[in-house]
Amino acid sequence: DIPDALCERDKVKFTVHTKTTLSSFQKPEYSVQRQHEDFIWLHDTIVETEEYAGLIIPPAPPKPDFEGPREKMHKLGEGESSMTKEEYAKMKQELEAEYLAVFKKTVQVHEVFLQRLSSHPMFRKDRNFQIFLEYDQDLTVRRKNAKEMFGGFFKNMVKSADEVLISGVKEVDEFFEQEKNFLLDYSSKIKDATAKAEKMTRSHKNVADDYNHISGALNNIAADNNTAFKKHLEKCAEVFEKLRKVEDRMASDQELKLTELLRYYTRDIQAAKDLLYRRARALADYENSNKALDKARLKGKDVAQAEENQKQCLQKFDKLSESGKKELTSFKARRVVAFRKNLIEMTELEIKHAKNSVSLLQGSIEVLKSN
């Protein structure tokens, strides 16, 4: 039951590995190749399925973003002639590290998406999900064309307008009222925190890069020197080089554990908000159908149809409310658990890295002193 995403580097092809004990699968083990677009397709089909309206649909993984490293690679290629060999090597190293970090991150978010789906009692039985996991050929999902893209955009517009409209509808359930306020508040805060965390980790990476440059520059000075001083400088360069590694790892772990967590929950909360929206929509529909029923009764025609309609809406709304309540509660618990896990992991990693650099620094100070 654990979809395990391994990844081979070829553009962005994910090898999705599935082990399952579920009887609905024909084999206990699968291994298929999927692209990012396949994940998006899966997400979209789930969103469009009416019966999942009462559920928080796991947010789709963000598009893998290799722009940063690619840009750097480009720059590297351009500046290759103007740089010394060492500088080039340093840059390359930097790049590889960054690429690796991005890569790791991308794999992780995709994996999390599948895990979320598989751990949910409803989604795990989804037909499309099974196809996604089982079908060993290329899914070759159609990319969204421009019209659909526009349609999606338009839908979003309508949705946000609708949200404003139905926000006037009086909330009947206190739980949802509370939840709505909380989510609105929380989402803006977490968005903010995410942005800040991103900035923080980025500048942390810059610091690590600077260490790298310093190390290079020290090496350059050392190269021209021929006294005892030279050894010194070389040692220093080495220290900075190592420091860079530690600092870099620190930065990328922070990114992975903290920023990603926040980022993910920004999306997840958006999904929860969507759920609330769907419920509010249903509520508004119900109220409209109530009004229609009243009108129909007044006029004395189409009463049965209106009654039917009203009943349906109420049913739908009740269903949504019920499952939404469940979903939101579990979402809350899940969030706490996730935060706990990530925070602990991050803290441990921070400590580990700091300890590493402490021992590194101590060692090199000893060496320098004894020289």
The residue within the footprint of other proteins, chosen from 141, 200, 292, 314 (CB under 8 A), is 200
Cα–Cα nearest to 211, from 243, 234, 253, 236: 243
Give 253 or 287: the residue with its C-beta nearer to other proteins: 253
Closest to 110 in 3D by CA, of 14, 217, 23: 14
Closest CA to 282 of 307, 319, 250, 257: 319
**193 is a site residue for other proteins (CB under 8 A):** yes
Does the CA dihedral 44-50-53-54 come out positive or negative? negative
Q: Which of 80, 192, 308, 322 binds other proteins (CB under 8 A)?
A: 192
DSSP string, 275-318: HHHHHHHHHHHHHHHHHHHHHHHHHTSSHHHHHHHHHHHHHHHH
Q: Does 213 bind other proteins (CB under 8 A)?
A: yes
- Copy the structure tokens of residue 66: 């290799």
- C-alpha of 310 from chain center: 39
Q: Hey, which bits of the chain come out as E strands? A: 2-8, 13-19, 29-35
211 or 286: CB nearest other proteins: 211
Toward other proteins, which CB reaches closer, 139 or 214? Answer: 214
Using rule CB under 8 A, residue 6 touches other proteins: no
Binding-site string for other proteins from residue 218 to residue 237, where x marks contact by CB under 8 A and - marks none: x-xx--xx-xxx--xx--x-
Residue 301, number of CB atoms within 10 A of its CB: 11
Report in angstroms how near the CB of residue 14 gets to other proteins at its nearest.
Answer: 30
- Nearest approach, Cβ of residue 272 and other proteins (Å): 13
**Residues 131 to 190 in contact with other proteins, rule: CB under 8 A:** 182, 185-186, 189-190
Q: How many CB atoms lie within 10 A of CB 262?
A: 21
| Using rule CB under 8 A, residue 4 touches other proteins | no
CA neighbours within 13 Å on the CB side: how many for 19? 4
Q: Which residues 303-362 are close enough to bind other proteins by CB under 8 A?
A: 332, 335-336, 339-340, 343-344, 347-348, 350-351, 354-355, 357-358, 361-362
Please give the Cα distance from 274 to 289 (Å, whole number). Answer: 22
Distance CA 325, CA 36 (A): 31
Rule CB under 8 A: say whether 51 interacts with other proteins: no
What's the number of CA atoms in the CB half-sphere (13 Å) around residue 91?
19
Provide the minimum distance between the beta carbon of 266 and other proteins in the complex, in angstroms, as a whole number: 11
Residue closer to other proteins, measured from CB, 131 or 344 = 344
Total binding residues toward other proteins, as defined by CB under 8 A: 58
Q: Is 369 in the site for other proteins (CB under 8 A)?
A: yes
239-298 binders of other proteins (CB under 8 A): 239, 243
Q: How far is the CB of 175 from other proteins (least distance, A)?
A: 12
Residues that bind other proteins (CB under 8 A): 182, 185-186, 189-190, 192-193, 196-197, 199-200, 202-204, 206-207, 209-211, 213-214, 216-218, 220-221, 224-225, 227-229, 232-233, 236, 239, 243, 332, 335-336, 339-340, 343-344, 347-348, 350-351, 354-355, 357-358, 361-362, 364-365, 368-369, 371
